[in-house]
Structure 1
């Protein structure tokens, strides 16, 4: 496991009206964070140290489905997409990923058929009665992808479909250049505990990292409310943010209503090119660099 550093930054006044977090629960989250850093390091090594870490899926729908094509959305979700004719190979062997901060990375490209196969494999929905979407053509273009280093423009295949004006885009980047993190299976040894952050914001020089997450609508001074602080588990390649919750009271019967909350944690050094991971599954979250 990678060595990691714990850095705490609590909200002003946190816990003054609410209950203290259970020590054993916090220790469990710290262990999860350490394991997440180790898995991320392994994923980066498997990708040859590549810094391209996309957040979310690499498929985009371009346009809205027409009312007459009611099953098309479900078919796409299930990955039911097939080529109606031979699709082209990449017109060049390499392309460039360009980040908003001006940095770039050259990567190998894959054919339209190979990217379509990835699109099919990424399907997770159920549409057993749906007819597959038929791809009638493809051209090499670009698409914008959220990454752990901010948004990036990546080479992508732009597919046309039979019977609709909607197009599909899929990243044309060779999988060997993509860092993909596999979360642990959920079970007694991996309970996936804690609040998962949804996004992060920082600057190029600041040690402050602001994260958003879904929490209690009100503060801990009110029934069913909570205040929040954070800890950061850090390595050379990533940061895992642990959200610490100070509830109004333990075991309150509260409605299942959440609100977007945020808190700021101070890192040991500026984030740089490190990824920000959520603690539940160790998956990367989108990063915005404001200056």
Structure 2
């Protein structure tokens, strides 16, 4: 079963803003590409592997309760941290990811040093700027959103100077992405889909998704069409309102919220351009990478 839908046009940095209020007609080539992507994924071994894997949809780092204070927030965002203590090695075992809805799997554990280096510079940071001090770490757990719902995952709990609760960083890597059953689209054609930078969030009821669409400085921003099937939700991005004439060479990302006919559930959320699942676009430096 196929169901077609549309997204909300958003200007630069204006999530959920209607913009011109128009609903651009999807180019036939882009619509055909969306159908091809859905047909390739629905019922495929790739979709089966995707549903069985661990694919995070939330930030790999969770800040101390109440967040960071004052200059500490700036130090964290600029990765200006200093390590004042020893970090433990990873135990000689695998970490277990457990879903609240049932099911679990194991993944290799990274050591605390590697986890630290994902959000802190190895050289100790600049002495001329505010610095955040890490005093140690221990292995614990955290809850993280995934494509299969909330999961309890192994995490390194880093103690910070001046804070009573730790900074948590996921200690296991995501499952390997399954090989796509369809090749990526050529984006050279004006009628083809543009790529999405990633998923910002799914609504609590799963009936809307906010994604980042890419566009230039001389247009009205991105628009996203939706194709829903029983097994997938295919998002096709495009750029509307391109203006002729001189234009600055820049690439911008704007949030677009798309409304769905039904909850995403266990359907695969796909980018029509790449033919791959839409990755999570988390905070810079803290999003789990998909390999």
TM-score between both structures, scaled by the size of structure 2: 0.56
Report the secondary structure of 2:120's partner residue.
helix
Report the secondary structure of 1:8's partner residue.
strand
Quote the residue 1:151 is aligned against: 150
> Could you say if the C-alpha distance between residues 146 and 104 of structure 1 is closer, same or farther in structure 2, counting changes exceeding 3 Å?
same
Report the secondary structure of 1:88's partner residue.
coil
Quote the residue 1:241 is aligned against: 234
- How many residues were matched structurally? 232
- Asked if residue 65 in structure 1 is aligned to residue 68 in structure 2, the reply is yes
Report the secondary structure of 2:113's partner residue.
helix
Quote the residue 1:263 is aligned against: 260
> Could you say if the C-alpha distance between residues 103 and 197 of structure 1 is closer, same or farther in structure 2, counting changes exceeding 3 Å?
same
Distance 2:88 2:197 in 1: 46
Distance 1:168 1:195 in 2: 25
Quote the residue 1:210 is aligned against: 207
Quote the residue 2:13 is aligned against: none
Of residues 228, 234, 245 in structure 2, which corresponds to 1:232? 228
Quote the residue 1:109 is aligned against: 109
- Asked if residue 8 in structure 1 is aligned to residue 3 in structure 2, the reply is yes
Pairwise CA distance, 1:192: 2.6
Gaps of 5+ in 2: 7-21, 179-183, 212-223, 242-254, 282-291
Distance 1:25 1:261 in 2: 21
> Could you say if the C-alpha distance between residues 141 and 57 of structure 1 is closer, same or farther in structure 2, counting changes exceeding 3 Å?
same
Pairwise CA distance, 1:89: 1.8
Quote the residue 1:135 is aligned against: 134
CA contact (8 A) 1:148 1:285 kept: no
CA contact (8 A) 2:226 2:235 kept: yes
Distance 2:197 2:85 in 1: 48
Pairwise CA distance, 1:170: 0.5
Cα-Cα RMSD: 5.3
CA contact (8 A) 1:95 1:155 kept: yes
Distance 1:170 1:193 in 2: 26
Pairwise CA distance, 1:97: 0.6
Quote the residue 1:84 is aligned against: 84
Distance 1:195 1:139 in 2: 31
TM-score between both structures, scaled by the size of structure 1: 0.56
